[in-house]
Structure 1
Amino acid sequence: MSEMAGLKKAAILLIALGTETSAEIMRLLPENVIQKISYEIANIDYVKPEERDAIMEEFLEMSQAREYIIDGGINYARNLLNKALGAQRAKEVIDTMNQIQLRERPFDIARKADPQQLTNLLLNEQPQTVALILCYMQPDKAALILSQFPLEMQSEIAERIGTITSTTPAVIEKIEKVIENKFSNLVDNEAETVGGVHTLVEILNSVGRSTEKNIITVLEKNQPDLANEIKSSLFTFEDIVTLEKSDVQKVLRDVNNADLALALKGVSEDIKQAIFQNLSARAEESLQEEMEFMGPARLSAVEEAQQKIVAVIRNLDEKGEIYLRRGEQDAVVS
């Protein structure tokens, strides 16, 4: 969304909300933003009802998405928005929210920089410095950069990403000054929550299988609890929709029917269909009957059943019997 398009939407939204509410909102905005929006409002003569309604709806969706992200993170928001808006619209809203968050965070230039140039710059930095910078980057770009490091450094950087819980403006400012020719000075006034298992999982979900295996192997020796937490999060139950049909069928052969019925409680129709379409008509009918007979189930029990199925999927992947899509293409060997 261009800046002017965004400002015009904001102006139309304020017009639609009425003078009293808009005045309260305007008082909370920075002076330069107030001036820009006021100019837009002054230059709007007429707003079509359908245009007004569309902008109001978009505002409500973005507000709802932001609330979900604050409550439970991106994956939580995505799951709820999928049910409320459908997969395509939910993706558009989440993508927009991600872009807004990226623009508000430090190291903006690093996120826009050429990955190879950035890798060359970071190769001479300390692992803790590289880890902090990667925490602020897009997961796929961070994965590409991480995979370019020597194997022993990959594991050390990954370990630091997984154990970072927060950082301070002073630390960010110090790092930005060290590499001031590459990064902008976008330091927040409050401590930033960065890194952690979720960030590392997002990065590892985008790296190649060999890079992931190397990092996990070393983490199993150095930080076994962290390694176990990462392995359980790398592939979620909802990701089963990304598997090939033949691979889903292989998974279902190794899954207990009671666990499968429990795991499907409360999931989206897309996930249920990914399962049902790989069962015979008789098996599907039997599974649905078991789900109905089971009645309400505790969320913890459902999540435990889903983790059992994820464990089966990961095991089959490690054996090479199924294929989990990775961020990098697998090498072709003869």
Structure 2
Amino acid sequence: MSIASVEALLGVGGNLPAPIAPPPPRPEMPGLRKAAVFLAQMSKEEAGVLLSKLRPREVEALTRELMRLGSVESEDVDGVMNEFHGLMTAQHFIGRGGVDFAREILAAGLGEDKAGDILSRLNVVYTEVPFASLRNADVRQLVTFLKDEHAQIIALVLAHLTAAQSAEVLSGFAPEQQAEVAHRIAMMDRTSPEMVRLVEEELGRRMGSLLAHQDMTTVGGVETLVEIINRSPRPTERSILEWLDNTDPELAEQVRSQMFVFEDIVTIDDRSLQQVLREVEANDLATALKGVRPDVRDKVVRNLSERAAENLSEEIELLGPVRTRTVEEAQAKVVGIIRTLEESGVLTLTRGQDDEFVA
């Protein structure tokens, strides 16, 4: 049999086209694009809730990426969703029992290679936080556990918790202790891993569990303190700021320049303030304006309709004497609305800008 006939039987030779080369591997999708793809798969309501949790600059970057997204192949969408599911699963197990526990669980279900791949990618966006086991602890237990510790130890722990949780814990301390801990948080910068490890081990022995540790990282600082104060009750906020005024005026000014308090509504432009006022309950607004400076009250009244301004004045008069704590709670509600609108990108607040303008 000739070579030609063999080639004919095998379907090769002649003028048949060369085998098609396999397609090149897909390039790795940038993290920001993955986030945009993931967000695009959510409902508008879910996406809105998620965006409200991000910082303004993150919302801006993600919004720009969404606008550039265009069409995305289903294979890429599936890849992003699967990666997200894997990372969330890994974080869940890490939170329950640490990295080793997560590796064992993932390996049992997905195999060693897949588990290692997930954890290696997770390491880019997730570093196990010191004192992670405290994040699920009851706030009252944390207050009891920490209140007798040295202020520097408390500051180190609170700097690694979420701002909301730290605010609750801080509120459980005496005013003098609140102020001292707040000052130490603001003055913190980088903490050696050895120091963190020693503190973790000591606290771990007392709690009956060994807490996680991480490489040296930037913790604390003015920004951390501001986030904690912004989520604290008004009396706690006032106590800390008054103490800082007396002990470290320069630091107090740095903190104030980065935070927003009720009286700062005079700095909001009229259009933005009108958006805020549409979200505020009439009774809360009236209560919040009890006893404030005239310029604060005037700023609000100017941005209401004539009828609404009249109703507000009547409401304030009908309230009569109001406890300071009640007023502060109402003011905190208004500030909370302002911060929510800022975080969602609806309005922009200016902080710490001392530039003078001449007409």
TM-score, structure 2 as length reference: 0.46
Q: TM-score, normalised by structure 1?
A: 0.49
Considering Cα pairs closer than 8 Å and 6+ residues apart, tell me whether 1 or 2 has the greater RCO.
Answer: 2
